Amino acid sequence: MEGPSALAPPIGSAPHGVSPRTLRAAEILSRLVAFETVSRSSNLDLVAFVTDYLSQHGVQARLIHDATKTKASILATIGPRNMPGVVLSAHTDVVPCEGQNWATPPFTATSRGGRIFGRGTSDMKGFVAAVLAQVPDLCAAELCAPVHLAFSYDEELGCRGAPDLVKQVAKISKKPLLCIVGEPTQMRVIRGHKGKIARRITIHGRGGHSAYPYRGANAVNAAVQIAMGLRAIARELEARRDAEGFDPPYASVHIGSLHGGTALNLIPETAVLEFEIRSTPKTDLAEILGRIDTIVAACLASLQTAAPESRIESENLIDYPGLECDGAGPAARFVTRLSGTSAEPATISFGTEAGLYAAAGIPTLVCGPGDIARAHIADEWIGLDELDEASAMLDRLRDLLTQPDWADCLN
């Protein structure tokens, strides 16, 4: 196994009030940051480290591999298996650092001024580290219900690793009563977020000399026609503003890229357009996708009038559901109690794996240390105080799960 294989040297002396468990989390975090689990690469070295760590504490982990066997999700259970319990969910991948001006090496955890700098510290290896630091105490506790650790891969590419993992979680003989996804929310409890569908449309027309445009089928013209149709739908959705509590308060249609053509004096034979829809709970996705299909079909018919061999291919890139949980319901109240905050559960616009767990019938909320504003940027960091807050939340969860009537809180 490449990379670190044991706990890191101490991250530094403990600031006043920071618990030993938080320092343990910081040490584990320094190890996790050192694994360059950029989504384009394998995460198996990190997986081996985590499974070895769990094994040292008598916890056996199950791996759910991708088709290439170069990536894997982790599913492990601590506590009695004959009772429904709680899932702690996180992802192990991070976004790239190329082109960013880091003051410190991105894959070396650097401690300064009560902060730990490094790629993935906030998003979201900090939560993974806090969970792993809790493992010895969970194993020693007399739990009345299990804690399931569910760590996925390729979340940053559109939750690609989560579906297979969630299926296995849903198949646990005693389906969990709750899932907490530890994305960075500054420990604010999140009850809802938007869903996302992203597609790539590739248009194949007929090339030729630009002096004779009628002899070809211009793929760029077709792409522009599709883009104009998408923009018209986007303006309609913006006008509805039917998603109070979200920022922005409407479903959005966004064109992220449009490429086509090779030279000015050539009829473009190929064009590629990529777009996304970020849906709200009130969005009729079937209706929107149907309208987009109609636009694409009309463009294809126009192309084939000039060049019968023309074709348009549509490829799904990302597809995950949104999250909608009753902010006043028992699950939200339970997680708010754990978080130690008095703030009302809120919504976010970025996506997570939470919607997949909810769709599988597991009440799910999002709550974790760090700040999404620091994610994906240079000099990403998390505070020791934030790790301490996450550790405190997990302490409360552990203590509640030692009580036989703990599930009454979810009724």
Three-state SS for 349?
coil
Within a domain: 3: no
- 171 touches 361 (CB < 8 A): no
- Domain with 152, as residue range(s), is 20-193+322-410
Residues 64 and 134 occupy one common structural domain: yes
Tell the burial category of 147 from Cβ atoms under 10 Å away from its Cβ (0-12, 13-18, 19+).
buried
Residue 185 per-residue DSSP state: B
| pLDDT tens by residue, 120-171 | 999 999 999 999 999 999 999 999 999 999 999 999 999 999 999 999 999 9
202 shares its domain with 189: no
CA distance linking residue 147 with residue 80, whole number of Å: 9
Same-domain pairing of 228 and 308: yes
Bridge partners (DSSP) of residue 366 are 181, 190
pTM of the model as a whole: 0.91
Residues 203 and 83 in one domain: no
What separation in angstroms does the CA of 319 have from each of 81, 99, 216, 326, 336?
Answer: 32, 28, 35, 23, 29
Burial of 224: CB neighbours in 10 Å, binned 0-12, 13-18, 19+: middle
Average pLDDT taken over every residue of the chain: 94
Q: What percent of the chain has pLDDT over 70?
A: 96
Residues 239 and 363 in one domain: no
Asked which of 320, 355, 378 is the last residue of a domain, the reply is: 320
Q: Is 171 in the same domain as 32?
A: yes
My answer on whether 44 and 164 are in the same domain is yes
**Would 13 be classed as within a structural domain?**
no
pLDDT at residue 12 tops 70: no
pLDDT over threshold 80, residue 16: no
Task: Give me the pLDDT at residue 411, please.
Answer: 81
